[in-house]
Structure 1
């Protein structure tokens, strides 16, 4: 009588060989997860999740290089494109959408391309990640000088591979964000950001640690890029879009924090600045008009600290010139 073997031993002698991917390895700590009581199961997931920030910390030098490429592209009038499928692509869509209200970046400057389109945002579209033709078709939207950021937890997604290949041909910069240091797509990227999050608690479920790592990486990538572009003053969201009462109140708090002005003064400066909080900050701190502050910001390419420095120099020059008369 043949003995039926269930569990890991059933595949012990398998000759199957697949491309290496840490995201598909089995986690030895969770092999009995289906027999754990709820609290033990949750503690295991939580313990694994705590390893993700440490994995991201290891790849910060590569992430810094990616940020510099994004700053170069955007400051040169070009665009940044996120390209991904499944969880990675959905995280990219979220990140790109939130940059507009948070940092006032113009619509269309940071664009997310999700395999399967908008339908895939809320519906399973697993086959879309194999659509290389769709990745190649992005050529119509990518130009020389742009930056294409491919996101794939496994580091193998055909849709992303085709998009990165196309980007190289178009003369765009390329970044790969994966959870697979051995990704076969790495040669297609100028920079590979690959936090090694290891095997998932549920084998291959990359919406877990790998997905969390991609969220952390994109949060840091886009935030650092916006700060480097002058889209904040200190740690204050001076460039945000104040589209509701809560955000309009936040603008007044930002002005008070940045300048020490009272609510009445802040509201008047904001009105004179046409609702532009950063312009109002420069006006209040420099004690100057909206027109003069706007000119200084333009010359400083939107960086408030640089604009203030220019205005200080201008005041000193005027005082020297006045004394010479």
Structure 2
């Protein structure tokens, strides 16, 4: 393995992997799987830092703030992916979770050469969103040296936003720019420098944790049930009915009527059944509690 201190871990070469092109496919598959299995353990060493970033973001998110990821290449694509999955999963409002990628939307499917080296573009992207103190901006970069991500985080900090970072090297410039750095060092890649591998997996796991735990804390689930899921297709409509039945214990016919009256909203249907309320009244009661089903159930139960 390269020991040059000037070479980041994500770019270093592990000579253990130097003959992978001559390995049988099944042996190579086992080796890659073994390497991948180390990633969750590395992430697990940083749960306190991850929790600290989430807790810092929550006050702003509760009053209309946004969660914004900024990165380039694989890191940027992972941020956009995580952001794009929040509306269907948690019914987040438009723009509540945002993914910024160097080079813009075209960079999702093509390499935009040089875009990641433009720190001013990262700053402009953040400024263009009019980021403020209620927002949280997280720079994502395997190396921790991507100027676009660093520029975005620095601009966010100047605007009073909560800042975080996800990198796979220790002591990076990106970490230094962020109030809540998360450095998950996963070691050299199977294919040297290909940070779409272990580094990408580590970033994906951390992004999953940030968005999912934040949404749980915001009341987007009831227990571990996705009560805010959007019923936009057959599979999801079935899921809504199963969720309502699971929480209420109601018969299928009752569940069907409640879900239809609620316009496909699991939360409204659940509250209407358990609270013996009309769908309109259930929706009003939920709004009083910022859409948090458990709080609305507890309050309406006490009222009853």
TM bin, normalised by shorter chain, reads over 0.9
Q: Which residue of 2 aligns with 1:321?
A: none
Structure 2 residue ranges without an equivalent (≥5): none
Pick from 74, 89, 94 the counterpart of residue 81 of structure 2. Answer: 94
> d(CA) in 1 for partners of 2:171 and 2:8?
7
Paired residues in the alignment total 302
- TM, length-normalised to structure 1: 0.88
Asked if 2 retains the 8 angstrom alpha-carbon contact of 1:73 and 1:80, the reply is: no
**1:308 maps to 2:297:** yes
Distance 2:103 2:180 in 1: 26
Using the TM superposition, give the Cα deviation of residue 33 of structure 1 relative to its aligned residue in structure 2, in angstroms: 1.8
Cα distance in structure 2, aligned partners of 1:121 and 1:196: 25
- TM-score w.r.t. the length of structure 2 is 0.94
Give the SS at the match of 1:54. Answer: helix
1:41-95 Cα deviation digits (max 9, x unpaired): 2211111000001011111111111111232221121111110000011011111
Unaligned runs of 5+ in 1: 1-7, 316-325
Compute the RMSD of aligned alpha carbons: 1.8
Cα deviation code 1:215-259 (max 9, x no counterpart)? 111111111111111111121111111112221122111111111
1:284 matched to 2:284? The reply is: no
CA distance in 2, matches of 1:250, 1:40: 40
Is the aligned partner of 1:205 residue 2:194? yes
- Name 2:28's counterpart in structure 1: 41
- Mapped partners of 2:184, 2:62: distance in 1: 27
The answer (yes or no) to whether the contact 2:156–2:162 under 8 Å persists in 1 is: yes
Task: Report Cα offsets for 1:161-202 as digits up to 9, x if no partner.
Answer: 111111111111100011112212212111111111111111
4+ runs deviating over 4 angstroms: none
Q: 2:57 aligns with which of 67, 70, 73?
A: 70
- Cα pair 2:60 2:133 within 8 Å, conserved: no
Name the structure 1 match of 2:181. 192
Bigger radius of gyration: 1
Residue number in structure 2 paired with 1:318: none
